[in-house]
Structure 1
């Protein structure tokens, strides 16, 4: 079992650079768009409150600084999610697709159950997501059951 780093796969199978080829970045899901929109609206709201505090005659410096800091943090969170949100999911899917059946079988056979098999896969392959590891274990168990069923004449 080998661990893989993003730099190991800077060129995909079609020969184009980057994880998504010549098509550009992967499309963003509805959940990412909703999160970014809500966070950006919160940042705009905090910016409006900071502006109102600034123009108010009894405005405190601390109030203006706190609302401004909140606005900056919300905008930063929205920007980070927009640009980097899907990279972890992409990496996990890539790792899952590169794992061989033998590696999954080894983790399942040396474990005491599904949870332990998923844990072993995730420890052996940093960056593999919980859902992807679980699906690999389930797929392996399903493949093994179908092979056993065919060999016993059932199916």
Structure 2
């Protein structure tokens, strides 16, 4: 088996107790983000640990908890990350997503595209912060970081 095939996630779960109430649309976005993440990702805990891996994401004492285990279920590592570096980005991301949903109904395609470019920029910024926060802990690529940022937003959603 190719070494990179072991440096990936095969399952991602979100702690139900950490999730706020969600509309069917938000639930769908969560499921799609998890599906996309599992389909294509690069995920390698530091130390050369063999995978593939499962990831359980939750909130613990206002911190992001990432529990990594092997596909077999054997725990590999757990990390707690402060959410403080993400707060402004997540808040702005939620605001621009709401603007985007409103714009779809009433704005021109060029206005919608401009709002979407801003949304993508914030998404990239959140992914960059996540890569930095995981440095020396877990190696991830940009697409994986973007998908994980989506899940951080899902956990931050308060309905």
Q: Structure with the greater relative contact order (CA < 8 A, sep ≥ 6): 1 or 2?
A: 2
* TM-score of the two chains, using structure 2 as the length reference: 0.35
Structure having the higher helix fraction is: 1
Larger Rg: 1
* TM-score of the two chains, using structure 1 as the length reference: 0.36
